[in-house]
């Protein structure tokens, strides 16, 4: 499945863009789903001596899918194809790699 197809299918379950506060709802949802991943990672650190090989693969696939759904729908909210998001991100990372700027911090490195 490519990103454009995923976005189209994800939008079948999204609320209408004109629903009151929908963008805010989506952004909070993205934060919440990302937080669920972080929370599960924290428990592996706390309870399993940071042995991430014990992370349930199906669980992480499910949680990453929830994050991806929110990203796809938020992108559509701004009429941005998810494929464009992916392409531009890869181009940005390739440029950073070429310049030796993968490490560090800041958006414009």
Q: Which residues contact 31 (CB under 8 A, 6 or more apart)?
A: none
Residues 86, 3 contacting (CB under 8 angstroms): yes
C-alpha–C-alpha distance, residues 86 and 41, integer Å:
25
For CA atoms 73, 75, 79, 83, give the dihedral sign.
Answer: negative
Q: 38-97: per-residue pLDDT in tens?
A: 999 999 999 999 999 999 999 999 999 999 999 999 999 999 999 999 999 999 999 999
Instruction: Name the residue with higher pLDDT: 107 or 90.
Output: 90
Using 50, 70 and 90 to split pLDDT, how confident is the model at 109?
low
CATH numbers and ranges of domains, the chain:
3-82 (1.10.287)
Residues 63, 70 contacting (CB under 8 angstroms): no
C-alpha–C-alpha distance, residues 59 and 52, integer Å:
13
Q: 16-55: per-residue pLDDT in tens?
A: 999 999 999 999 999 999 999 999 999 999 999 999 999 9
C-alpha–C-alpha distance, residues 56 and 30, integer Å:
21
pLDDT at 1: 93
Distances, alpha carbon 19 to alpha carbons 33, 66, 83, in Å: 21, 20, 25
pLDDT at 9: 98
pLDDT at 67: 98
pLDDT at 102: 83
């Amino acid at each position: 499945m490519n990103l454009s197809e995923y976005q189209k299918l994800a939008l079948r379950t999204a609320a209408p863009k004109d629903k009151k506060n929908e963008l805010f709802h989506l952004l909070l949802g993205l934060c919440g789903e990302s937080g669920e991943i972080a929370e599960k990672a924290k428990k592996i650190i706390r309870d399993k001596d940071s042995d991430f090989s014990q992370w349930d693969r199906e669980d992480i696939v499910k949680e990453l899918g929830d994050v991806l759904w929110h990203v796809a729908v938020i992108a559509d909210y701004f009429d941005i194809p998810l494929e464009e998001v992916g392409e531009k991100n890869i181009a940005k990372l390739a440029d950073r790699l070429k310049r030796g700027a993968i490490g560090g911090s800041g958006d414009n490195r």
